[in-house]
């Protein structure tokens, strides 16, 4: 009963390095999301996907890229890491099909990223 799985859970990067946060879900959800959570703040949407091959920007997409080649996987790539990208990143998924929409998002456990 894995749900949404994110890796790695912790990572320290140097300024200018690149990395990919992995996210996979086994619930056959069509929607997937990446959020970031800064200290004392709520979650802000980075990118989302409504299905394989389709991605779109959220509130704070700059400095990130995503791809969605399969229903299960939604990796988030950080290019040229900056201290401003120090945050906790959450992947989430949900299912929506026409009028059937529970509205609920299922979250991974988060990935804490520090850029020094």
Residues in contact with another protein by CB under 8 A are 31, 33, 35, 40-45, 48, 50, 56, 58, 88, 90, 92, 94, 96, 101-105, 107-110
Among 115, 113, 111, CA closest to 22: 111
User: By the 8 A CB rule, do 47 and 67 touch?
Assistant: no
Write down the least CB distance from residue 2 to another protein, Å. 13
Least spacing, CB of residue 35 vs another protein, in Å: 8
CB of 73 to another protein, least distance (A): 19
Q: CA dist 68 to 19, 22, 32, 71, 106, Å?
A: 17, 11, 9, 7, 18
Please, which residue, 18 or 101, has the CB nearer to another protein? 101
């Amino acid at each position: 009963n894995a749900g949404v799985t994110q890796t790695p859970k912790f990572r320290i990067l140097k300024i200018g390095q690149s990395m990919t946060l992995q996210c996979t879900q086994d619930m056959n959800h069509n929607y997937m999301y990446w959020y970031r959570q800064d200290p004392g703040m709520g979650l802000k949407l980075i990118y989302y996907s409504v299905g394989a091959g389709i991605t779109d920007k959220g509130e704070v997409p700059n400095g990130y890229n995503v791809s969605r080649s399969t229903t299960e996987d939604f990796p988030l790539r950080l290019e040229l890491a900056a201290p401003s990208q120090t945050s906790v990143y959450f992947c989430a998924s949900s299912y929506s099909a026409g009028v059937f929409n529970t509205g609920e998002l299922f979250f991974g456990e988060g990935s804490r990223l520090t850029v020094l």
